Amino acid sequence: MPEMTFDIMNYEEKNYKCSIPSVSVERIKGKNVAVFRVEMTLDGKTQVLRKRYRDFYSFDTYLRGAFDGHHLLSNLPKVPPKQIPLFTDHFAPKFLEERRIALQAYVRKLLLIPKVVNNPDFQRFFSKQKRKDTRNHNADSKSNKFQDGEGEVEIEEEPSLMAVPLMPEVKAL
10-residue averages of pLDDT along the chain (173 residues) = 46 70 95 96 90 96 94 94 86 96 97 90 81 36 38 41 44 57
Give the three-class secondary structure for 160.
helix
Q: What is the pLDDT of residue 27?
A: 94
Q: What is the pLDDT of residue 6?
A: 47
Q: What is the pLDDT of residue 146?
A: 34
Q: What is the pLDDT of residue 172?
A: 58
Burial 14-36 (b: 16+ CB within 10 A, else e): eebbbbbebbbbbeeeeeebbbb
Alpha carbon of residue 123 to chain centroid: 11
Asked if residue 48 lies in contact with residue 104, where contact means CB atoms within 8 angstroms, the answer is no
Triad 170, 124, 21: Cα angle to 5°: 15
Q: What is the pLDDT of residue 55?
A: 96
Q: What is the pLDDT of residue 50?
A: 96
Give the three-class secondary structure for 32.
strand
Angle between the 53-66 and 93-110 helix axes, to the nearest 10 degrees? 30
Q: What is the pLDDT of residue 85?
A: 80
State pTM to two decimals: 0.69
Q: What is the pLDDT of residue 30?
A: 94
